[in-house]
A and B are shown apart, each in its own frame.
Chain A
Amino acid sequence: DAKTTQPNSMESNEEEPVHLPCNHSTISGTDYIHWYRQLPSQGPEYVIHGLTSNVNNRMASLAIAEDRKSSTLILHRATLRDAAVYYCILRYTGTASKLTFGTGTRLQVTL
């Protein structure tokens, strides 16, 4: 499985935008870029995914580099409830595809 690289931790002030980076230089053409987040003592929660084009949903935006070797998850206005570990994962499109989690980025949000 292609691997991703994320910073171990980031901090943000509440109400400010947050840009969470992810490098995936060995991504293949059939790999989707998925983002999940895990709040303390909970299971991971799907945030967003994309293939080539930038994506927006009610939770976040995903900006994908033109060469697809990196991507950025954008939280437009961080709140205290956004404090979590954010995982960037590559998933190939096969039937038995699996999510392989790395160590993720721990986001701290302060007042």
Chain B
Amino acid sequence: SQTIHQWPATLVQPVGSPLSLECTVEGTSNPNLYWYRQAAGRGLQLLFYSVGIGQISSEVPQNLSASRPQDRQFILSSKKLLLSDSGFYLCACRGGHSYGYTFGSGTRLTVV
């Protein structure tokens, strides 16, 4: 079965600082990978998805970027964080013959 490792679990960053969140996947190869954000009390918003190494699709214009340097590694970045970037960030994958998506445990980011 697929397992997603996501870290850190919580993060407090000042406005204007850079961000790098990493997600790694085990148990599958060539997965589709996704980054979601959930603002407090809101639903999940898809930010980026990737169907292969170096292939990134952005769903909404924003202050964030994503990269996929390896098959099972997905990175979410920002050069300068905004207050509005605060939220619960979740990495997800779908691989192999799996119909279901597996989600990581998430990173709760607070920009102060």
Contacts and interface: CB of A to CB of B under 8 A. Distances in A.
Q: Looking at chain B's contact residues, is the secondary structure mostly helix, strand, loop, or mixed?
A: strand
B34 A98 contact: yes
Q: How large is the interface on A (under 10, 10 to 19, 20 to 34, 35 or more residues)?
A: 10 to 19
A22 to B, nearest CB: 15
Contacts of B57: 96
A95 B101 contact: no
B46 A42 contact: no
B105 A43 contact: yes
B21 interface: no
Nearest to A43: B103
A44 B94 CA distance: 13
Contact of A43 (B32, B49, B100, B104): B104
A46 B100 contact: yes
B77 to A, nearest CB: 20
B99 A32 contact: yes
A95 B51 contact: yes
A45 B36 CA distance: 14
B51 A99 contact: no
A96 B43 contact: no
Given A42-B106, A43-B106, A99 B101 contact: yes
A49 interface: yes
B57 to A, nearest CB: 7
From B51, B88, B100, B102, name the one whose CB has the most chain A CB atoms within 10 angstroms: B100
B51 A96 contact: yes
Contact of B102 (A34, A46, A49, A103): A46
Contacts of A43: 90, 92, 103-106
6 contacts: A41-B106, A43-B90, A98-B34, A99-B34, A101-B46, A102-B43
Interface of A: 32, 34, 36, 41-46, 49, 95-96, 98-104
